[in-house]
Amino acid sequence: MILCLSSLSFSQSLFQVEPYIIFSKNNVSHLAFELNTPALVKVKLNSKLRQGLINLKNRFEKKKFYKLKIGKLRCDKTYNFEVKVESEQYHKVQTISHPCDETKPLKFLFITDTQSIKTNPRRGYKRHKSIATAVMEKLKEEDVNFAVHAGDVVSKGGNPKHWLDFFELAKMYLEKLPIIAALGNHDYQAEDPEGNPKTFNKYLRAKRDSLLGNVFLSFPQVDLLIHNTNYDHLTKKEIKKQFSWIEKKCLQAKVENKKVILVSHHPAFSSTFGHITKDTKYIRKNLLPIIEKVGNVPLVLTGHVHTYERSEKDGIVYLNGGSSGGIFNPSRYKNPYSKFVVRSKPTYSLVEVSQMDILIKTFDKKNELVEEHKIEL
């Protein structure tokens, strides 16, 4: 495991958003939380090795939202953190050694579209709750390193209540897993259309992360490229820059004999209406030739279409994660590359990467196995 939050209970009067860990570029981690009222906070690092900007004697300014740089974890080190909020109330954060042995597998949670449903918000909320509960139960028996979210975290990115609703449920798995998320189209709604949406950026990005939405994570087993497929919110120059970044990172990984997993919101292929939208057509025309040419991208993880589906083309698996909140979309189009489809069922996946293969296990809200698929490397 990389990082986890202990399961100490707190009075709800203290936290509006309970402490969680986000990954930013180059695996730098940040501790974030939001209080119900502004308060002085003291962060204590119980380790001989100091990380990032945390100082054992530092008292931060009195405010409501905190996002504190922990730093880049180092191999084979164990870290313990405490957060003290003025009084004697603590929330402990424990970090476990960074996975630096390439012979051991890396495992992460893949989840997407935790947004609510516009016409029936409670139904979407209940759907995310059922998946969060299932993940929480699974984490009792599985060692998972972090969570990857393919976007549409909330229905309306500029609505603070939607984010509080998300974290109220997501804390069931975020107390154990750091999170990295791609930008979804709904995460832009009611926000400034340029750059990272402010509220998304507040909760799920660091100050030094790219305003294009890109994040690069590197592990001994695999590199992860999180990129932004909301092209309507990017200029042609920014889109070109992002594609160049993807190609450059993939080629660098190839030199190191490493594989790359791409994560974004919009899919290249789908049996739903999403197959013929402008974004997906653009992806097929402009992005696929790049990753097919570099030849070291075995897996692309996406969301958006609210139907779990696995497609394969030219040796690359394209996995749409389905919906953990949003309304289900019907299958109305012929996807020539479709290999497996599940309709009208909330799902989440565990992705395990080893030297030999990538094993994907997908579960429903009852933790029953929906599909198991292995990609030979």
Is 39 within a domain? yes
Residue 152, φ and ψ in degrees, nearest 5: 55, 55
> Which residue, of 27, 60, 95, is where some domain finishes?
95
Shared domain for 187 and 318, answered yes or no, is: yes
How many other C-beta atoms can be found within 10 angstroms of the C-beta atom of residue 353? Answer: 25
Indicate the average pLDDT of the chain: 87
Question: Where is average pLDDT lowest: 38-47, 94-103, 343-352?
Answer: 94-103
**Global confidence as pTM:** 0.93
Q: What is the mean pLDDT of residues 107-133?
A: 91
Shared domain for 265 and 123, answered yes or no, is: yes
- Residue 369 pLDDT greater than 70, yes or no: yes
SS3 206: coil
- Residue 51 pLDDT greater than 50, yes or no: no
Which residue type does 108 have? F
**pLDDT for residue 2:** 43
Shared domain for 166 and 312, answered yes or no, is: yes
- Residue 48 pLDDT greater than 50, yes or no: no
How many other C-beta atoms can be found within 10 angstroms of the C-beta atom of residue 217? Answer: 21
Nearest CA among 321, 259, 319 for reference residue 291: 259
Question: Where is average pLDDT lowest: 91-95, 104-108, 217-221, 270-274?
Answer: 91-95
Higher pLDDT: 207 or 77? It is 207
**pLDDT for residue 7:** 41
**pLDDT for residue 92:** 59
- Residue 57 pLDDT greater than 50, yes or no: no
Shared domain for 37 and 159, answered yes or no, is: no
- Residue 367 pLDDT greater than 60, yes or no: yes
Q: CB under 8 Å to 120, separation ≥6 — which residues?
A: none
Shared domain for 190 and 293, answered yes or no, is: yes
Give residue for tokens 């890396």. 106
- Residue 320 pLDDT greater than 70, yes or no: yes
**pLDDT for residue 372:** 98
Tens digit of each residue's pLDDT (9 = 90 or more) over 253-294: 999 999 999 999 999 999 998 888 899 999 999 999 999 999
**Domains held by the chain: number:** 2
Residue 167 is part of a domain; what is its CATH number?
A: 3.60.21.10
CA distance 260 to 225: 7
CA distance 278 to 205: 27
- Residue 223 pLDDT greater than 80, yes or no: yes
- Report residue 264 as tokens: 């974004």
Q: CB under 8 Å to 323, separation ≥6 — which residues?
A: 112, 113, 127, 303, 306, 307, 346, 347
Is 100 within a domain? no
Shared domain for 56 and 204, answered yes or no, is: no
Is 101 within a domain? no
The count of C-alpha atoms lying within 13 angstroms of the C-alpha of 2, restricted to the half-sphere facing its C-beta, is 32
**pLDDT for residue 224:** 97
CB neighbour class for 116 (10 Å; exposed up to 12, middle 13-18, buried from 19): buried
Shared domain for 237 and 136, answered yes or no, is: yes
Shared domain for 28 and 61, answered yes or no, is: yes
Is 52 within a domain? yes
Which residue type does 256 have? E
Shared domain for 292 and 211, answered yes or no, is: yes
Domain that holds residue 27: 3-95
CA distance 170 to 202: 16
CA distance 304 to 302: 7
CA distance 192 to 158: 9
CA distance 21 to 144: 14
> Which residue, of 29, 64, 95, is where some domain finishes?
95
- Residue 200 pLDDT greater than 60, yes or no: yes
- Residue 94 pLDDT greater than 90, yes or no: no
Facing residues of 92 across strands? 82
Q: CB under 8 Å to 253, separation ≥6 — which residues?
A: 223, 259, 260, 296
Higher pLDDT: 223 or 14? It is 223
Is 136 within a domain? yes
* DSSP tag of 101: -
Which residue type does 136 have? M
Q: What is the mean pLDDT of residues 102-112?
A: 91
Shared domain for 149 and 271, answered yes or no, is: yes
> Which residue, of 95, 129, 144, is where some domain finishes?
95
Question: What confidence tier does 13 reach under pLDDT thresholds 50, 70, 90?
Answer: confident
Asked if 374 and 348 touch (Cβ cutoff 8 Å), the reply is no
- Report residue 4 as tokens: 């986890």
Beginning with the edge strand found earlier in the chain, give each strand of the sheet holding 41-45 in spatial order: 3-5, 90-95, 79-85, 41-45
Shared domain for 121 and 43, answered yes or no, is: no
Question: What confidence tier does 14 reach under pLDDT thresholds 50, 70, 90?
Answer: confident
User: In the chain, what is the straight-line distance between the N-terminal and C-terminal CA atoms, in Å?
Assistant: 23
The count of C-alpha atoms lying within 13 angstroms of the C-alpha of 70, restricted to the half-sphere facing its C-beta, is 34
**pLDDT for residue 49:** 43
Shared domain for 315 and 344, answered yes or no, is: yes
Residue 74 is part of a domain; what is its CATH number?
A: 2.60.40
